[in-house]
């Protein structure tokens, strides 16, 4: 089954693609630790490109990229959150508070994904990436709604939305939860560390959901279970796990203003690239 995928990739591009996978893993791990995100904003476009070259069925291509990204986020978010925890930068009380609503959002997201086309999923991903890029471009630290995270029903709305949207596009939720925590007066490092912990809560049931969705839709792809591809995991996950702690170190020692803009530009390019793919 391993050769089934590799044989569909032109031999002159095989080495380049292996380098791309390894580099994607390193970059995804670094930004996972740095920004508290799962790295899916990098991994999904890279995997989609690789699955396109491998001539994976177009109807499953985007689903497979998103599902594999979520599976990769499990070890990445655990390592990242543990590294932040050692620096006392994770609010586990908040994570426990919103965990049930996160899981509800994830389950609903997995159900929706199993019933939409690959083209619709690509457009959704492109739009949400664009909004995430704008967030990183224009975010201001002085924006605040309150001095603490809400403990009424609003917390369940936030948790469900983060879980739902993160599952739809295969991310750990940090791109959504970090700014949310910031506007509720979380110190930036604690917001990032807590967001990394939230990523693990999203990724585990999200991955299960994509596996079950693929099985439900009778998807049978080489080296895959449901919508999770193990070739992508084997090439990317070790690099993300190794790189995540270094991203955490950068998060605690470097200013983020320039890094935010560089990352936002990269995400914007990915958004435009996927939108053009959807359009044409």
Residue 202 confidence (pLDDT): 92
What are the extents of the domains in the chain? Answer: 12-279
Q: What b/e string do you get for 90-110 counting C-beta neighbours within 10 Å, with b at 16 or more?
A: bbeebbebbbebbbbbbbbbb
Helix (H, G, I), strand (E, B) or coil at 228: strand
- Judge contact between 199 and 73, C-beta under 8 A: yes
Query: Would you tell me the crossing angle of helices 40-53 and 257-279 to the nearest 10 degrees?
Result: 30
The DSSP code for 38 is -
Please give the pLDDT value at position 159: 94
Q: What was the pLDDT predicted at 1?
A: 40
- pLDDT score at 269: 82
Coil/strand/helix, residue 104: helix
CA 127 to chain centre: 15
- Summarised one tens digit per residue, pLDDT across range 108-134 is 988 888 788 888 888 888 888 888 888
Please report the pLDDT score of residue 106 as a whole number. Answer: 93
Considering the entire predicted model, what is its pTM?
Answer: 0.81
Q: Of all residues in the chain, what percent carry a pLDDT higher than 90?
A: 20
Residue 140: phi and psi, rounded to 5, are -120, 130
- The total number of residues written for the chain in this structure: 280
| Cα gap 85→224, rounded to integer Å | 33
> What pLDDT score was predicted for residue 36?
63
> What are the helix (H) ranges across the chain?
2-6, 11-35, 40-53, 58-85, 92-113, 118-138, 154-169, 174-183, 188-216, 230-253, 257-279
pLDDT at 220: 82
- pLDDT tens, N- to C-terminus, the chain (280 residues): 445 555 555 556 667 777 877 888 888 888 777 776 667 778 888 888 888 877 788 888 889 998 998 998 898 888 888 888 888 889 999 999 999 999 999 999 888 887 888 888 888 888 888 888 887 788 776 778 888 899 888 999 999 999 998 888 777 777 788 888 888 988 877 888 898 899 889 999 999 999 998 998 888 877 889 999 887 888 888 888 888 788 877 776 766 677 667 777 877 887 887 788 788 7
What is the pLDDT at residue 97?
A: 92
Could you give the CA distance from residue 200 to residue 205 in angstroms, rounded to a whole number?
9
The reported pLDDT for the residue numbered 2 is 44
């Amino acid at each position: 089954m391993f050769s089934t995928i590799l044989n569909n990739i032109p031999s002159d591009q095989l080495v380049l693609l292996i380098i791309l996978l390894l580099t994607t893993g390193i970059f995804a791990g670094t930004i996972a630790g740095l920004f508290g995100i799962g790295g899916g904003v990098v991994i999904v476009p890279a995997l989609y490109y690789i699955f396109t070259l491998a001539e994976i069925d177009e109807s499953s291509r985007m689903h497979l990229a998103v599902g594999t990204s979520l599976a990769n986020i499990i070890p990445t978010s655990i390592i990242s959150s543990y590294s932040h925890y050692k620096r006392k930068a994770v609010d586990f009380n908040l994570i426990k508070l919103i965990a049930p609503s996160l899981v509800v959002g994830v389950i609903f997201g997995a159900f929706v994904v199993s019933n939409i086309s690959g083209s619709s999923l690509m457009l959704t991903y492109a739009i949400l990436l664009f909004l995430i890029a704008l967030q990183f471009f224009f975010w201001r630290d002085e924006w605040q709604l309150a001095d603490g995270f809400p403990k009424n029903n609003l917390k369940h709305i936030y948790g469900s939305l983060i879980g739902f949207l993160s599952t739809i596009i295969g991310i750990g939720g940090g791109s959504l939860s970090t700014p949310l925590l910031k506007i509720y007066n979380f110190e930036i490092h604690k917001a990032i560390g807590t967001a990394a912990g939230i990523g693990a809560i999203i990724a585990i049931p999200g991955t299960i959901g994509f596996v079950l969705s693929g099985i439900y839709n009778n998807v049978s792809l080489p080296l895959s279970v449901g919508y999770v591809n193990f070739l992508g995991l084997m090439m990317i996950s070790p690099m993300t796990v190794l790189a995540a702690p270094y991203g955490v170190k950068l998060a605690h020692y470097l200013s983020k203003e320039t890094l935010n803009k560089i990352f936002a530009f990269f995400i914007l390019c990915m958004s435009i690239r996927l939108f053009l793919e959807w359009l044409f």
